[in-house]
Structure 1
Amino acid sequence: MAFDPALLDEIRTRVPLTTVIGRRTKLVRSGRNWKACCPFHGEKTPSFYVYDDHFHCFGCGVHGDVISFVMQSEGRSFPEAVEQLANEAGLEVPRQDPRSEARAREAQSLGDVLQLVQGIWRRKLLEHEGRDGLSYLKRRGLTDATIEAFGLGWSGDGRGGLVEELRGHGVPPEALLHAGLMRVDEHGAAKGELFFSRVTFPIRDRRGRIVSFGGRTLGDGQPKYLNGPETALFSKRRTLFNLDRARQSAREPGQNLIVVEGYMDVIALHQAGFHAAVAPLGTAMGAEQIEMLWQVSPEPVLCLDGDAAGSRAALRAAETALPLLKPDRTLRFCRLPESDDPDSFVRREGPDAMRRVIEGATSLADELFSVVAAGIAQRGPEQRAGIRARLEALAAQITDRALASEFRRTLLERFFSAVRPAGRKSGDGRGRVAARGPVARTLPPDGALERLRAMTALLLRYPEHLPELELPFSSLELPADLDGIREAMLNWLAEQPHGVVLTSEGLDLWLGAHHLAEQKHALLSVGLPRLPCGPDDTAFPETGPLQRWWECYGLENLPAFRQGVMEEVRSALSDPTLTAWPEGLNARMRAMERLSRGESADEGLAEEG
């Protein structure tokens, strides 16, 4: 019974071999791989090794992939093993009929056709006909050994020579069409060779079988790079150029799995000693390709240009990866100078410089923040609010809840560090560190400390206002004792699931667990602006805690506070869908009115003092 090779490859990609084998025997890490006592023969010293897509026992010699392991360990037939693993991967196994078996036979025959074409094009490159192609490759710095290793070739002039030569091998033009080597007219009929006057790059699947070709024109023709179309053998979204070599090399010490943009980047890095480089085929990285990367390495490095296109590519890859992230698999990013790609950089600067770039790769969280929040310090409050919302939305895409919470906390720590005034570290030295820069204002000495204590105390008593006040609260310059409390409060907020009700009791438990209960008690025991005596808030007959907080905040810089409120009022007035002022804007407007009349939170502080 024959199965579609694409289905079998999809099963091998989706079902981790370590998961299946781990059900039968205990696996332990051995470098980048795993080892165990062989489940097929009794032994006390592990000699059974599991790699990314196959296993091998050096004791009894048994070896195979995930399908053969199920067959050998559970006594299942090949079709039974395929069906079991397909169900596990959420794939539908097509019913075996003459048509599906014919497709399987066609795929095998297409592979034979592509192998014949590869031999012809390799020969042409070394003949007089391919002299321009060979000269181009030499100018790009490739050695004979590299050209041979990657099987680079020359497609010829496209005047029917390939068709005629293959006809002598019994291959009809229809087979070339099905293999993706012919152009088609509007009716789907062959009308000429797809690749002509191009340097050719054989594209192999993860097992090293040729599934298609890419070609690079030497003239001004477009497109400069051309890939073969989708066929029974070839799917762009399930293929990475050079993965067959890279997955072997990535196990070697000092080799990182590197993702670059194109063929020549991969080949140049390989020649420079970076043998574990791969590239997508003219499209953005898809989910299937990222899963393939993780089968080889838990932390592949995306090496991108330093220009705007590189930033866009980084963001696309990150957004694709976020829903798939797990604690043990992520992406890292490194950037080259704006005018460089990996090919040009490694040829000009050399392998050592390239190695330093790769070793300096940043985390996925850092890359996300740098792309989304570029220039945040120069943005206005509306733009900063939008950036913060974007960062939180990105973290929310992660399906692993604990990991999503950690990402959100990390991104918001970076956010608040960037918008917070300069000159301060977090109270315990572990958290957010502000970017240095000029301080925009000087705190007035009279009453300033009391106001800062009052603002912190109000949020300790009414943490339900923390989400709305998180940004202005984080922008304050606080003394060390208040800063430590604030750091804990914001970390607590970052831990709370979306939509949960924030209570002072929950915050108290968090502060107690972080040994800050005494500091909180000391803060609440000194002068506070009319803090309520009970849950009915009778101590706030005229103003609520939100308005009182904004009054304290406005006293720090009244002109800037007034300007911000008026900008938000103008924005609200221009919104035709708004039927009532938001509560927060109401509180700021009332605070601004009281401050403008000369009534302030300082009066409340004086009364309490």
Structure 2
Amino acid sequence: MSRIPEAFIHDLLARTDIVELIGERIELKRAGKEYRGLSPFTNEKTPSFFVSPQKQMFFDFSSGKNGNAIGFLMAYDRLSFVEAVEELARRAGLEVPREGGAPARVLMDGPLDALAAAERFFRDRLRQTPVAIDYLKKRGVSGETAKRYGIGYAPDRWDALTEFLKDTRHAIEAGLLVPREGGGCYDRFRHRIMFPIRDTRGRVTGFGGRTLGNDPAKYLNTPETPLFHKGRTLYGLYEARQASTGPLAQLVVVEGYMDVVMLAQHGIHEAVATLGTATTRDHLQLIFKTANRVVFCFDGDRAGRAAAWRALEQTLPELHDGRECAFMFLPEGHDPDTLVQTIGAEAFRARMRAAQPLSQFLLGELVRQVDLGTLEGRARLLALARPHLDKLPAGSLRTLLLDELAHLARMDRTDVEQALRRSDPPARGNAPPAAAERGSAAARPVRRLMQLLLERPALAERAEHVELLAQANVPGTDVLVAAIDFFQAHPGATAAQLLAAWTDTARGRAIGRLLADPLPPLDDTALEAEFRDGLHRLCQRALKARVEALLAQARIRTLTEAETREIEAMTRQMRTRPPDT
């Protein structure tokens, strides 16, 4: 009978982060150097379950259980020893070898080794490439910082790494090389500054590369592999943990590799970055396992605020008591990299401390959309707030938000709670005919714009102020904005490709219905002019709604200087005509 080699089990446990494993199953909160939670094996009311990242062990003082990752899976998932080992191996991308059975084969040893070898290769080539060194010097990156983050350089050749890595199969599995149709392979990264991306145990699982040439893809990441998942990885998290002698009080989420690197060089080591993707729930769970406060850092323009809103929606379900979230908006023309070099670390930290709390950002964005000077506006505020309150876990923050809503709506707290409970929207099929007719009429311009866009996807390249459209309060604008975003991100894509990307979704079905109702023939000039004018009218409607909301606020309070400037800017913009095509 075959058995699992003991050496493999030791290696498997070394590759497993027990905090991540257990955190996927129960809620853990940092408590000093350990993590604490309620026992998953008893019905206790106070936490007595601890996980030690240093020891890679769990201790349950309520039930008396303790052990390593294998022991936890056996107790919690009720697996046998072999099943628990196989589950950990599956997570790590390993095939379990057997002594006395089939020859042992560890699938991911090769890819991990290939990634580690690639990091050494890129770092070595950086030292030999003056143009890459000069680029980093111009960006202000010191040699010590480059060494700390393992920054390297991918040569401007199709086969530099291919020749260096003898076993190309493992390098292909790791996303480093790309197979050719006729056989062989070539380097995925060429003429780029290379940033190794590490998991929470410090292993390189992927790379990000910044081009030094004219490549239209300014940044390029490793594709999704069994080891690398963008939606579950944060650049700089391992380095942030290593730089701290104790628990981190907070993490600041930025957008780029250079932002993380330059902040760390200025002593702000708690910065992490998403990898060219929006913040996910998995990102937030990683963040809150490390720190109890997160500061999102975004551009101060409309696109930045829209991105902040998407991050807010992902954060709400994770805001259990003791956790905080804030939003820091950057001055125009700056990203964290340039701002910290301009104002220094202390001033940057002061901005982090003054970041807008989630509750203030949430209520501020909702109030923008209503007129608090009318009964209808205050009623609409409650309706807009409800889905966000429903996402919040029960706790003090939710209670305080209800109190603030009651103040804004000029109602008693009890009345607000009752109003929120009975504000379920009527079923679409039971909507009054007049309301349905008005909604259909309001959505007609958006439907027409969608038809024009599907007919000529290249029109997306001319779309401006897209982030404004969502504020126009016209049904269907969210689909229109998503379609424009898709075509801008995929130049040359067709309506069929959009339909394929939205397969089995409500948006995809709506697109399918539009494609089944083709437009009458239009010449190119007329089609472009109609699309441009339609977008302009929607933007004007959004601007008008925002100005009216601010003017309503002015009747009940003094507007801030920023709000006054915003009214002036929007009023000027409302007087403009769309540019000629």
Q: Structure 2 length normalisation: TM-score?
A: 0.60
The corresponding residue for 1:133 is 132
Distance (whole Å) between structure 2 residues aligned to residue 248 and residue 400 of structure 1 = 34
Distance (whole Å) between structure 1 residues aligned to residue 328 and residue 34 of structure 2 = 25
Q: 2:248, 2:270 within 8 Å by CA — same for their partners in 1?
A: no
The corresponding residue for 1:294 is 288
Q: Residues 93, 79 of structure 1: CA spacing in aligned structure 2 closer, same or farther, 3 A cutoff?
A: closer
From 52, 55, 65, give the equivalent of 1:54: 52
- Aligned: 1:106 with 2:97: no
Q: 1:11, 1:85 within 8 Å by CA — same for their partners in 2?
A: no
Deviations 1:528-574 (A, max 9, x none): xxxxxxxxxxxxxxxxxxxxxxxxxxxxxxxxxxxxxxxxx998695
Counterpart mapping for 1:351-390 below 5 A: 351-374=345-368, 376=370, 386-390=380-384
Q: Structure 1 length normalisation: TM-score?
A: 0.57
Specify every segment of 5 or more residues in structure 1 that has no aligned partner in the other structure, as ranges. Answer: 20-26, 36-49, 56-62, 417-470, 475-488, 502-568, 578-609
The corresponding residue for 2:169 is 174
From 406, 416, 438, give the equivalent of 1:494: 416
Rg larger in 1 or in 2?
Answer: 1
Q: 2:328, 2:352 within 8 Å by CA — same for their partners in 1?
A: yes
From 226, 238, 247, give the equivalent of 1:244: 238
Alpha-carbon deviation of 1:237?
1.8
Deviations 1:559-596 (A, max 9, x none): xxxxxxxxxx998695499xxxxxxxxxxxxxxxxxxx
Distance (whole Å) between structure 2 residues aligned to residue 277 and residue 287 of structure 1 = 18
Distance (whole Å) between structure 1 residues aligned to residue 139 and residue 214 of structure 2 = 17
Distance (whole Å) between structure 2 residues aligned to residue 184 and residue 9 of structure 1 = 36
Q: Residues 310, 93 of structure 1: CA spacing in aligned structure 2 closer, same or farther, 3 A cutoff?
A: farther
| Residue identity opposite 2:52 in structure 1 | H
From 319, 326, 336, give the equivalent of 1:325: 319
For residue 159 of structure 1, give the secondary structure of its aligned residue in structure 2: coil
| Residue identity opposite 2:176 in structure 1 | L
Q: 1:201, 1:214 within 8 Å by CA — same for their partners in 2?
A: yes
- Aligned: 1:151 with 2:150: yes
Alpha-carbon deviation of 1:14?
2.5
Distance (whole Å) between structure 2 residues aligned to residue 246 and residue 381 of structure 1 = 49
Alpha-carbon deviation of 1:401?
6.5
Q: Residues 411, 252 of structure 1: CA spacing in aligned structure 2 closer, same or farther, 3 A cutoff?
A: farther
Q: Residues 570, 110 of structure 1: CA spacing in aligned structure 2 closer, same or farther, 3 A cutoff?
A: closer
Q: 1:307, 1:339 within 8 Å by CA — same for their partners in 2?
A: no
Q: Residues 356, 149 of structure 1: CA spacing in aligned structure 2 closer, same or farther, 3 A cutoff?
A: same
The corresponding residue for 1:283 is 277
- Aligned: 1:163 with 2:162: yes
The corresponding residue for 2:73 is 82
Deviations 1:443-500 (A, max 9, x none): xxxxxxxxxxxxxxxxxxxxxxxxxxxx5xx4xxxxxxxxxxxxxx522223448447
Counterpart mapping for 1:459-478 below 5 A: 474=410
For residue 96 of structure 2, give the secondary structure of its aligned residue in structure 1: helix
Distance (whole Å) between structure 2 residues aligned to residue 573 and residue 150 of structure 1 = 57
Distance (whole Å) between structure 1 residues aligned to residue 307 and residue 437 of structure 2 = 36
Distance (whole Å) between structure 2 residues aligned to residue 296 and residue 124 of structure 1 = 34
Q: Residues 273, 16 of structure 1: CA spacing in aligned structure 2 closer, same or farther, 3 A cutoff?
A: farther
Alpha-carbon deviation of 1:79?
3.1
User: What do you get for the CA RMSD once the two structures are aligned?
Assistant: 4.1
Distance (whole Å) between structure 2 residues aligned to residue 373 and residue 104 of structure 1 = 60
Q: Residues 240, 327 of structure 1: CA spacing in aligned structure 2 closer, same or farther, 3 A cutoff?
A: same
Q: 1:155, 1:198 within 8 Å by CA — same for their partners in 2?
A: yes
| Residue identity opposite 1:317 in structure 2 | A
| Residue identity opposite 1:119 in structure 2 | R
- Aligned: 1:11 with 2:21: yes
For residue 110 of structure 1, give the secondary structure of its aligned residue in structure 2: helix
The corresponding residue for 2:216 is 222
Q: 1:255, 1:275 within 8 Å by CA — same for their partners in 2?
A: no
Q: Residues 342, 80 of structure 1: CA spacing in aligned structure 2 closer, same or farther, 3 A cutoff?
A: same
Distance (whole Å) between structure 2 residues aligned to residue 280 and residue 371 of structure 1 = 24
From 51, 64, 78, give the equivalent of 2:55: 64
Specify every segment of 5 or more residues in structure 2 that has no aligned partner in the other structure, as ranges. Answer: 37-47, 98-103, 424-431, 441-581
Alpha-carbon deviation of 1:66?
3.7
The corresponding residue for 2:532 is none
